[in-house]
């Protein structure tokens, strides 16, 4: 009985010692694994119990942060920010380390280490999402025909997983082939080709997926009836023929108008030349001859008007009446002679 009591007391003492040692400076919460894209910020957190003496951050086997109750030392070669605070209620101490603008080369192991506890570690994985594109964004094909659609993912890390959907329905992997090649900088290019038999209008989407993100590219395919393309081709040919015919007709009309105008101008010039030649010939041959057979009609010759005599009896009885004393018997008569006849002789141009 006495031995049992002694054993119990020893057990309690040992438990208290172990418990007390474990609580002082024990890491309560260590960092967690992170997977993110290049260019992001990576944040890790480590919390220790009260009465801690030292806390150290180790990144890729290099001490980057050393924390004690009196000071904090940070590696100047690292692009990071350190934040520390103590919980006023529990007394727990928390250290937060943030890596700024991480690159693919920043991937690696990070550890939180305390002198009185085992270290806690996490893994940082930085991935790269490149470009994703389908060769042709829009297609028009004949119904029931087979078409190959190619999708290319360039500059990815790690190798992305390529999947396809048709009208938002996942395509079986046996319907497409995927190949990948490594490039400089440990990046990868992936080409995937989907063989599709079209029964109607379809929306085809190519999806590239990595753990940190996924990216998609979509192409819309329009299916046409077999005869519609023939009809479209016929319509195009007819339209082209009509256009060319109209153009040629306009050119022909212009040529005809120009030819007619030229002939009309030549005709006018020929007429004027003929008229000028005839006029010149007539002028050179023109002569005047007396027509001795001409017999004038003296009855038609009128006497010249007599001159007005001077006004007599200027007394005006009315403002508009004038009295003239004229004696027509005194007007000498004129006789016809040969001289007069010669002056009024008619001349005939022959």
Average pLDDT score over residue span 103-126: 92
Summarised one tens digit per residue, pLDDT across range 21-32 is: 445 578 999 999
**The CATH number of 131-224 is which of 3.30.43.10, 2.60.40.10, 3.90.1150.10, 2.40.240.10?**
2.60.40.10
CA 311 vs CA 277, 306, 324, 325: distances in Å: 62, 15, 6, 7
Region of poorest pLDDT, from 3-17, 90-104, 212-226, 302-316: 3-17
The pTM assigned to this predicted structure is 0.57
Region of poorest pLDDT, from 106-115, 149-158, 249-258, 280-289: 280-289
Give the span between the Cα atoms of 39 and 32, in whole angstroms: 19
Task: Please state the domain extents for the chain.
Answer: 22-127, 131-224, 227-264
List, in sequence order, the alpha helices (H) in 24-119.
none
CA 107 vs CA 41, 81, 157, 208: distances in Å: 12, 17, 12, 21
Check if 22-127 and 131-224 are the same fold: yes
Q: Can you give the pLDDT at residue 91?
A: 92
User: How crowded is residue 76: how many other Cβ atoms within 10 Å of its Cβ?
Assistant: 7
Average pLDDT score over residue span 126-151: 88
Q: Can you give the pLDDT at residue 222?
A: 81
User: How crowded is residue 127: how many other Cβ atoms within 10 Å of its Cβ?
Assistant: 19
- The CATH superfamily label for domain 22-127 reads Immunoglobulins (2.60.40.10)
Which has more confidence, 137 or 170? 170
Q: Can you say whether the dihedral through the CA atoms of 263, 264, 270, 274 is positive or negative?
A: positive
Which has more confidence, 143 or 320? 143
Q: Can you give the pLDDT at residue 349?
A: 54
Band of pLDDT at residue 232, cut at 50, 70 and 90: low
Distance of CA 239 to the CA centre of its chain: 28
User: How crowded is residue 120: how many other Cβ atoms within 10 Å of its Cβ?
Assistant: 20
User: How crowded is residue 124: how many other Cβ atoms within 10 Å of its Cβ?
Assistant: 20
* Closest by CA position to 46, among listed 58, 28, 61, 34: 28
Q: Can you give the pLDDT at residue 192?
A: 96
């Amino acid at each position: 009985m006495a031995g049992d009591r002694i054993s119990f007391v020893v057990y309690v003492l040992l438990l208290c010692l172990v418990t007390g040692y474990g609580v002082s400076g024990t890491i309560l919460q260590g960092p967690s694994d992170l997977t993110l894209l290049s260019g992001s910020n990576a944040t890790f957190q480590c919390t220790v119990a009260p009465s801690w003496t030292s806390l150290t951050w180790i990144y890729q086997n290099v001490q980057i942060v050393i924390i004690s109750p009196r000071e904090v030392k940070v590696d100047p070669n690292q692009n990071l920010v350190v934040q520390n605070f103590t919980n006023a209620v529990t007394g727990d101490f928390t250290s937060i380390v943030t890596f700024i603008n991480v690159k693919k080369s920043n991937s690696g192991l990070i550890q939180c280490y305390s002198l009185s506890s085992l270290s806690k570690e996490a893994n940082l994985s930085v991935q790269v999402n490149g470009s994703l594109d389908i060769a042709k964004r829009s297609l028009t094909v004949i119904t029931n025909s087979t078409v190959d659609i190619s999708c290319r993912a360039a500059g990815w890390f790690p190798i992305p997983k390529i999947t396809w959907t048709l009208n938002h329905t996942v395509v079986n992997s046996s319907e497409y082939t995927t190949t990948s090649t490594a490039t400089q900088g440990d990046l990868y290019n992936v080409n995937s080709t989907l063989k599709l038999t079209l029964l109607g209008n379809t929306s085809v989407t190519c999806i590239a997926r990595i753990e940190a993100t996924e990216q998609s590219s979509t192409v819309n395919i329009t299916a046409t009836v077999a005869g519609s393309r023939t009809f479209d081709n016929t319509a195009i040919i007819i339209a082209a023929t009509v256009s060319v015919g109209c153009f040629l007709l306009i050119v022909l009309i212009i040529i005809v108008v120009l030819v007619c105008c030229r002939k009309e101008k030549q005709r006018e010039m020929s007429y004027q030349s003929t008229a000028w030649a005839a006029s010149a010939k007539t002028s050179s041959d023109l002569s005047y001859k007396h027509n001795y057979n001409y017999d004038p009609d003296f009855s038609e010759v009128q006497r010249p008007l007599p001159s007005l005599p001077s006004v007599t009896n200027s007394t005006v009885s009315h403002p508009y009446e004038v009295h003239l004393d004229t004696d027509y018997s005194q007007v000498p008569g004129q006789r016809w002679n040969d001289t007069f006849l010669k002056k009024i002789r008619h001349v005939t141009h022959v």
